[in-house]
């Protein structure tokens, strides 16, 4: 079964750090680009970051650039999001999502999400 499972969310104070992980199974992880997408409470979906299959290409939303770092370990079938200098507006459910094959870059497989709460 193709599956993505996020972990690492929790409550953190403003200015703090958190590292999210996404464990992939059921597909050849190293062949796919991967993404992080978030949804703040009561808000819509927001793309956060993307990484190509070999980590050659990395992109960030302006709202997280310079504070968040996406990475992956293809040997461990794992995707990561290091989040530093967290702000209240980073409070959201964070989803990892697989990039579909081809150039469309749709997100075809999603994890169940992990909640990040930034509050003092």
Partner 1 sequence: DIQMTQSPSSLSASVGDRVTITCRASQSISSYLNWYQKKPGKAPKLLIYAASSLQSGVPSRFSGSGSATDFTLTISSLQPEDFATYYCQQSYSIPLTFGGGTKVEIK
Q: Give the interface with partner 1 as residue ranges (CB under 8 A).
A: 35, 37, 39, 44-47, 50, 59, 61-62, 95, 97, 100, 104-108, 110-113
C-alpha closest to that of 95 among 7, 31, 25, 19: 7
Give the nearest distance from C-beta 82 to partner 1 in angstroms: 19
Task: Decide whether 46 or 84 has the Cβ nearer to partner 1.
Answer: 46
Task: Decide whether 16 or 55 has the Cβ nearer to partner 1.
Answer: 55
| Polymer length of the chain | 120
C-alpha closest to that of 48 among 66, 34, 33, 36: 36
Give the nearest distance from C-beta 69 to partner 1 in angstroms: 17
Give the nearest distance from C-beta 75 to partner 1 in angstroms: 26
Give the nearest distance from C-beta 45 to partner 1 in angstroms: 5
Task: Decide whether 5 or 13 has the Cβ nearer to partner 1.
Answer: 5
Residue 35's Cβ-count burial label (10 Å; 0-12, 13-18, 19+) is: buried
Task: Decide whether 16 or 113 has the Cβ nearer to partner 1.
Answer: 113
Residue 104's Cβ-count burial label (10 Å; 0-12, 13-18, 19+) is: exposed
How far apart CA 32 and CA 4 sit, in angstroms, is 13
């Amino acid at each position: 079964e193709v599956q993505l499972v996020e972990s690492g969310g929790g409550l953190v104070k403003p200015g703090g750090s958190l590292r999210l992980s996404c464990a992939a199974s059921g597909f050849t992880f190293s062949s796919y680009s991967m993404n992080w997408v978030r949804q703040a409470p009561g808000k819509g979906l927001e793309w956060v970051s993307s990484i190509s299959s070999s980590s050659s290409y990395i992109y960030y939303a302006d709202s997280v650039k310079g504070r968040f770092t996406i990475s992956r370990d293809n040997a461990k079938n794992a995707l990561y999001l290091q989040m530093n200098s967290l702000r209240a507006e980073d409070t959201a459910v964070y989803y990892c999502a697989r990039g579909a094959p081809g150039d469309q870059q749709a997100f075809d497989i999603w994890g169940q999400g992990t909640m990040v709460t930034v509050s003092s």
